């Protein structure tokens, strides 16, 4: 991690500590002491199971794309991707180019364009159930929660933007003309801001878009595989919400599973805003406020949120960082570039494909 990432993580932790101080640290500690450890263990188990579901879905997509990678090889890549998503303020997208790079480097006969397309398809499949759940959540909260109109407008706008990006990616793959226009917009930006070796960069962008379109068309043409992976995507979100529910049950909180799901989806929306790494601090604070608004004591909301984030955020981050050395120093150097997709893609050409 570079200085900027470390500073942002420190700021995030300070924000969280400030919120805990405001709630009352003594009360939060008292609530932590009464937690049911068996239910906490179940929540951890649900989180670990989602790692396997993530890997399983990605393995299916890679097979459809003609990329031969075993489950054993993909699981550490998934953990590294999750860790990079958490430590970079990139709207939970910093880890995707890293995953694509690792897959490209450790598989024979694949190009970075193909592995990146498989990763984007994996991300897109994750977006379908999220958009559906977000739409239902926003509608429900508009009816049953007393929120300011501006907050609802922001949530609606976030869903619309995500949906537009998703359909733009899909449409770019089925309409070559639209893909050429997207390429033109990107090249115009490159010419404006990237003066050095512009022609080389433009050729790389063209090759990447063509390869990306080809691979995505292959992925979308396999309806059985897509139906299978979409089912896994919904299962992943169900287990994510179940994990949060188990944590609150561990603290004896009397809360509806639907409310848990609503707050979780809203928190995910906020976490996608690239302000702090993994939304740390902002997401935690929002969860505490919303659960408290749903009738749970602030101390219990804070304690449950701390445990939930230890499982969902810090456990994934620590596991990803622990397996990172397995991929070698060159990967450490790439990830030290703050997970920027552009920087990682530029480094690919200098790295041999095994």
Instruction: Note the pLDDT tens digit of each residue in 128-147.
Output: 788 778 777 777 766 666 66
Backbone Cα Rg of the chain: 21
pLDDT band at 187 (very low <50, low <70, confident <90, very high): confident
Q: Kindly state the average pLDDT of the residues 144-153.
A: 66
pLDDT at 201: 63
Full DSSP string of 284-323: HHHHHHHHHHTT--HHHHHHHHHHHHIIIIIHHHHHHHHH
pLDDT at 311: 86
Q: What angle do CA 339, 191, 199 make, to 5 degrees?
A: 85
pLDDT at 345 over 60: no
- Alpha-helical regions (H) of the chain: 3-23, 25-33, 37-64, 71-87, 95-106, 112-144, 149-174, 176-193, 198-221, 223-250, 257-271, 282-293, 298-309, 315-323, 329-335, 341-348
pLDDT at 346: 54
Phi/psi at 194 (5° precision): -125, 95
pLDDT at 185 over 70: yes
Residue 354 has which token pair?
A: 């095994």
The more confident residue out of 67 and 271 is 67
Kindly report the average pLDDT of the chain as a whole number: 75
pLDDT at 341: 45
The more confident residue out of 193 and 137 is 137
CA distances from 215 to 101, 105, 175, 222 (A): 16, 18, 14, 12
Percent of the chain with pLDDT over 70: 65
pLDDT band at 58 (very low <50, low <70, confident <90, very high): very high
* Range ranked top by mean pLDDT from 86-90, 208-212, 285-289: 285-289
Distance CA 268, CA 134 (A): 9
User: For the segment 215-249, what is each residue's pLDDT rounded down to a tens digit?
Assistant: 667 777 788 888 888 899 999 999 999 999 999 89
Q: What is the pTM of this model?
A: 0.76
Q: Are 337 and 343 in contact, with CB atoms under 8 Å apart?
A: yes
pLDDT band at 272 (very low <50, low <70, confident <90, very high): low
The more confident residue out of 126 and 187 is 126
pLDDT at 71: 93
User: For the segment 1-53, what is each residue's pLDDT rounded down to a tens digit?
Assistant: 556 556 656 666 666 666 666 655 666 676 677 788 899 999 999 999 999 99
Distance CA 2, CA 335 (A): 9
The more confident residue out of 110 and 67 is 67
pLDDT band at 290 (very low <50, low <70, confident <90, very high): confident
Q: Kindly state the average pLDDT of the residues 293-299.
A: 79
CA distances from 283 to 167, 336, 342 (A): 27, 25, 27
Place of tokens 């984030």: 309
pLDDT at 188 over 50: yes
pLDDT at 282 over 70: no
pLDDT at 57: 93
Lowest-confidence segment of 52-56, 112-116, 165-169 by average pLDDT:
165-169
Where does residue 244 rank: exposed (0-12), middle (13-18), buried (19+ CB within 10 A)?
buried
The more confident residue out of 18 and 298 is 298
Distance CA 24, CA 115 (A): 48
The more confident residue out of 193 and 262 is 262
pLDDT at 337: 43
């Amino acid at each position: 991690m570079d200085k900027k990432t470390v500073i942002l993580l420190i700021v995030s932790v300070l924000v969280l500590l400030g919120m805990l101080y405001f709630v009352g640290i003594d009360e939060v500690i008292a609530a932590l002491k009464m937690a049911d450890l068996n239910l906490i263990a179940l929540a951890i188990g649900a989180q670990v199971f989602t790692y396997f579901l993530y890997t399983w879905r990605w393995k299916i997509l890679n097979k459809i794309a003609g990329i031969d990678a075993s489950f054993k090889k993909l699981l550490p890549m998934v953990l590294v991707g999750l860790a990079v998503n958490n430590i970079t303020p990139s709207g939970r997208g910093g880890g995707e180019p890293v995953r694509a790079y690792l897959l490209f480097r450790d598989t024979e006969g694949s190009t970075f364009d193909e592995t990146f397309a498989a990763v984007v398809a994996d991300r897109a499949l994750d977006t379908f159930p999220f958009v559906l759940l977000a739409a239902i959540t926003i509608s429900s909260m508009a009816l049953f929660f007393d929120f300011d109109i501006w907050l609802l407008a922001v949530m609606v706008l976030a869903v619309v933007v995500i949906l537009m990006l998703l359909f733009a990616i899909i449409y770019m793959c089925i309409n070559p003309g639209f893909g050429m226009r997207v390429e033109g917009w990107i090249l115009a930006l490159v010419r404006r801001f990237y003066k050095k070796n512009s022609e080389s960069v433009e050729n790389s962008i063209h090759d990447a878009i063509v390869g990306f379109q080809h691979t995505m068309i292959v992925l979308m043409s396999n309806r059985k595989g897509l139906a299978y992976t979409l089912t896994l995507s919904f299962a992943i979100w169900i287990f994510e919400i179940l994990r949060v529910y188990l944590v609150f049950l561990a603290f004896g909180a009397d809360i509806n599973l639907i409310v848990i799901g609503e707050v979780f989806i809203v928190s995910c929306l906020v976490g996608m805003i690239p302000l702090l790494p993994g939304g740390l601090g902002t997401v935690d604070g929002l969860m505490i406020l919303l659960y408290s608004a749903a009738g749970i004591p602030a101390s219990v909301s804070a304690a449950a949120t701390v445990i939930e984030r230890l499982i969902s955020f810090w456990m994934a981050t620590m596991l990803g960082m622990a397996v990172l050395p397995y991929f070698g120093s060159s990967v450490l150097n790439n990830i030290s570039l703050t997970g920027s997709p552009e920087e990682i893609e530029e480094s690919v050409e200098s790295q041999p494909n095994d």
